[in-house]
């Protein structure tokens, strides 16, 4: 059978205990309920029926294994949340707690305080034992009950910290920087031969982690972003030659801008990092916007924060404290350029600029994301209890999979500008195919 580069998922060792889920749910150990390590999920689902088909990429399917590596009564698990907020963090924490506590019978579950900083003893934050009361209502609340921080900590320091507290399982919720940190930590752990599973749960409001079809919080972000676009549209309609300009998240990938455009149905131009659109000249944005205003008297432009960086060529960029390159402010720049252009063309316009920023990511998870977070959390527990490590929970075609962290952080996902998703944006906006 053909298998792709992603097939090697690390294991801590032999699984010696029957899964507590068998007793919990009244199932035999050979029930169809349990997932075998040989069950895989294909990456590609489309093929050309007129040609020979080759498949070279598939992933191990996530799910409960019939035998587990860890003895629940002796296991101490911990959760850490790193980086910026994302709708659904508390939901993931809650589902991890519930699955461990009720279904596997692991009673010692801890919350690491303030991200990886909470694994550095110098910071002075001790892991907090979690109880029902802590998590019970948390799925109704945005943010992270554990606090967060940015940037890496020394993997050896973190490994020693976990050893000294007797932690056997660590769930790392965070973006690609966090997952890189998780991998480094797992390597420090392996060096020490600790029986400690490190399982990543990908968190990115930009939806830009590979092999994660739809990261949690993304659907919520679209919903809220579309509310803001609606406001921009209403403002544009309410004024003569009204232009609504909305800046949305998306450092390197336009998923939020594109998705919110389809949800909104009221955007005329969607600008994403993947497409270096022309600003000036005949085929440029400004002229297209002028046509739109002359024909329809109002327009909405949505721009991802990472779009149009080619327009700043030669201007230096700075970094934030996690080491991410900061982008030039395309929203403010476009606002100025549009105003200047319309002034020069002698066409009065009425531009309203909206930048919702953190408002998109600090809210509670919506219905769809409550499903995704619940599953992400529980699949992570299944993987960890089975003794799998150095992997993160990905998803393909609504199935959850095990992705070696190394595979996941080797690249960033971008929007395929020839794919169905971008086609949908072109249909909705009617914008030029730059």
What residues are annotated to the active site?
A: 206
Pairing of strands 58-61, 298-304: unpaired
Binding test (CB under 8 A) with its own copies, winner from 128, 237, 287, 412: 237
- Binding of its own copies at residue 117 (CB under 8 A)? yes
Neighbours of 377 (CB within 10 A): 26
Specify the DSSP class assigned to residue 326: P
Report the 10 Å Cβ neighbour count for 311. Answer: 17
Interface pick for its own copies out of 190, 234, 275, 311 (rule CB under 8 A): 234
Residues 29-58 that bind its own copies (CB under 8 A): 32-33, 36, 38-42, 45-53, 58
Nearer to its own copies, 180 or 230 (CB): 230
Within the chain, what is the greatest distance between any pair of CA atoms?
78
Q: How far is the CB of 266 from its own copies (least distance, A)?
A: 9
Integer CA distances (angstroms), 434 to 269, 274, 288, 332, 342, in order = 11, 11, 11, 22, 22
Q: Is 17 in the site for its own copies (CB under 8 A)?
A: no
In the chain the first and final C-alpha atoms are separated, in Å, by: 41
Among candidates 128, 196, 122, 120, which has minimal Cα distance to 152? 120
Minimum Å gap between C-beta 397 and its own copies is 4
Figure out which of the listed residues 16, 102, 294, 317 binds its own copies, where binding follows CB under 8 A: 102
Residue from 149, 179, 186, 389 touching its own copies (CB under 8 A): that is: 149
- Closest to its own copies by CB, 95 vs 204, is 95
Q: Is the dihedral of CA 222, 225, 229, 230 positive or negative?
A: positive
Which residue lies nearer to its own copies by CB, 166 or 283? Answer: 283
Asked if 276 is part of the footprint of its own copies (rule: CB under 8 A), the reply reads no
Find the shortest distance in angstroms from Cβ 142 to its own copies. 5
CA–CA distance, 250 with 302 (Å, rounded to integer): 11
∠ CA 300-296-258, rounded to 5°? 25
Report 160-189 residues binding its own copies (CB under 8 A): none
At its nearest, how many Å lie between its own copies and the CB of residue 309? 22
Q: Is 240 in the site for its own copies (CB under 8 A)?
A: yes
- Residue 388, Cβ density class (10 Å: 0-12 exposed, 13-18 middle, ≥19 buried): buried
Question: Smallest gap, in angstroms, from Cβ of residue 263 to its own copies?
Answer: 5
Binding of its own copies at residue 243 (CB under 8 A)?
no
What is the smallest separation between the CB atom of 165 and its own copies, expressed in angstroms? Answer: 21
Q: In whole angstroms, what is the distance from residue 232 CA to residue 274 CA?
A: 24
Determine, following the binding rule CB under 8 A, whether residue 378 of this chain makes contact with its own copies: yes
Task: Select 190 or 434, whichever has its Cβ closest to its own copies.
Answer: 434
Question: Distance from CA of residue 90 to its chain's centroid?
Answer: 14
User: In this chain, which of 222, 293, 383, 405 binds its own copies, going by CB under 8 A?
Assistant: 222
Interaction between residue 3 and its own copies (CB under 8 A): yes
Q: Does 268 bind its own copies (CB under 8 A)?
A: no
Nearer to its own copies among residue 15 and residue 94 (C-beta): 94
Nearest approach in angstroms of CB 197 to its own copies is 19
Nearest CB to its own copies, comparing residues 106 and 183: 106
Spatial contact of 17 and 69, defined as CB atoms under 8 Å apart: yes
Q: Does 267 bind its own copies (CB under 8 A)?
A: no
Distance CA 259, CA 413 (A): 15
Is 94 one of the binding residues for its own copies (CB under 8 A)? yes
Q: Contact, 434 vs 283, CB < 8 A? A: yes
Measured from the Cβ of residue 224, the count of other Cβ atoms closer than 10 Å reads 21
Closest by CA to 273, choosing from 245, 302, 300, 299, is 302
Distance of alpha carbon 39 from alpha carbon 48, whole angstroms: 25
CA distances from 140 to 72, 130, 132 (A): 28, 17, 15
Judged by CB under 8 A, does residue 294 bind its own copies?
A: no
As a whole number of angstroms, the distance between CA 364 and CA 357 comes to: 16
Q: Please pick, from the candidates 76, 185, 353, 394, the single residue that binds its own copies as defined by CB under 8 A.
A: 353
Q: Using CA atoms, how far apart are residues 413 and 286, in angstroms rounded to an integer? A: 29
Which residue lies nearer to its own copies by CB, 12 or 360? 360
Q: Does 213 bind its own copies (CB under 8 A)?
A: yes
Q: How far is the CB of 12 from its own copies (least distance, A)?
A: 21
Interacting span for its own copies (CB under 8 A) from 71-79, 256-264, 272-280, 312-320? 256-264
Query: Could you say whether residue 73 binds its own copies (CB under 8 A)?
Result: no
- Residue whose CB is less far from its own copies, 15 or 40: 40
């Amino acid at each position: 059978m053909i298998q792709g580069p992603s097939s090697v998922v690390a294991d801590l060792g032999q699984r010696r205990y029957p899964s507590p889920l068998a007793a919990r749910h009244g199932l035999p150990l050979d029930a169809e309920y349990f997932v075998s390590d040989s069950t895989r999920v294909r990456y590609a689902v489309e093929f050309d029926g007129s040609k020979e088909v080759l498949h070279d990429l598939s992933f191990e399917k996530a799910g409960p294994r019939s035998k587990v590596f860890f003895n629940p009564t002796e296991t101490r698990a911990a959760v850490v949340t790193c980086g910026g907020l994302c709708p659904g963090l508390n939901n993931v924490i809650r589902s991890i707690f519930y699955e461990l506590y009720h279904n596997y019978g692991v009673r010692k579950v801890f919350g690491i305080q303030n991200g990886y900083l909470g694994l550095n003893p110098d910071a002075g934050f001790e892991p907090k034992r979690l109880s029902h009361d802590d998590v019970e209502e948390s799925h109704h609340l945005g943010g992270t009950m554990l606090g967060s921080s940015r940037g890496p900590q020394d993997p050896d320091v973190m490994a020693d910290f976990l050893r000294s507290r007797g932690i056997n399982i660590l769930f790392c919720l965070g973006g690609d920087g966090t997952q890189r940190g998780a991998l480094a930590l797992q390597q420090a752990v392996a060096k020490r031969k600790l029986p400690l599973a490190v399982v990543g749960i990908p968190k990115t409001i930009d939806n830009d982690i590979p092999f994660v079809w739809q990261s949690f919080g993304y659907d919520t972000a679209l919903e809220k972003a579309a509310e803001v676009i609606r406001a921009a549209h209403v403002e544009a309609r309410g004024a003569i030659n009204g232009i609504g300009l909305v800046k949305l998240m998306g450092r390197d990938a336009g998923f939020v801008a594109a998705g919110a455009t389809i949800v909104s149905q009221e955007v005329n131009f969607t600008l994403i990092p993947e497409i270096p659109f022309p600003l000036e000249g005949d085929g440029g944005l400004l002229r297209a916007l002028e046509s739109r205003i002359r024909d329809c008297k109002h327009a909405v432009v949505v721009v991802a924060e990472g779009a149009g960086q080619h327009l700043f060529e030669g201007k230096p960029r700075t970094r934030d404290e996690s080491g991410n390159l900061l982008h030039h402010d395309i929203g403010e720049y476009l606002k100025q350029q549009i105003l200047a252009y319309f002034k020069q063309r002698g066409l009065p316009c009425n531009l309203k600029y909206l930048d919702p920023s953190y408002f998109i990511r600090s809210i509670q998870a919506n219905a769809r994301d409550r499903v995704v977070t619940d599953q992400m959390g529980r699949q992570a527990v299944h993987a960890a209890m089975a003794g799998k490590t150095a992997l993160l929970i990905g998803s393909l075609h609504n199935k959850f999979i095990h992705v070696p962290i190394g595979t996941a952080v080797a690249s960033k996902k971008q929007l395929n500008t020839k794919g169905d998703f971008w086609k949908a944006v072109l249909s909705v906006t009617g914008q030029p195919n730059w």
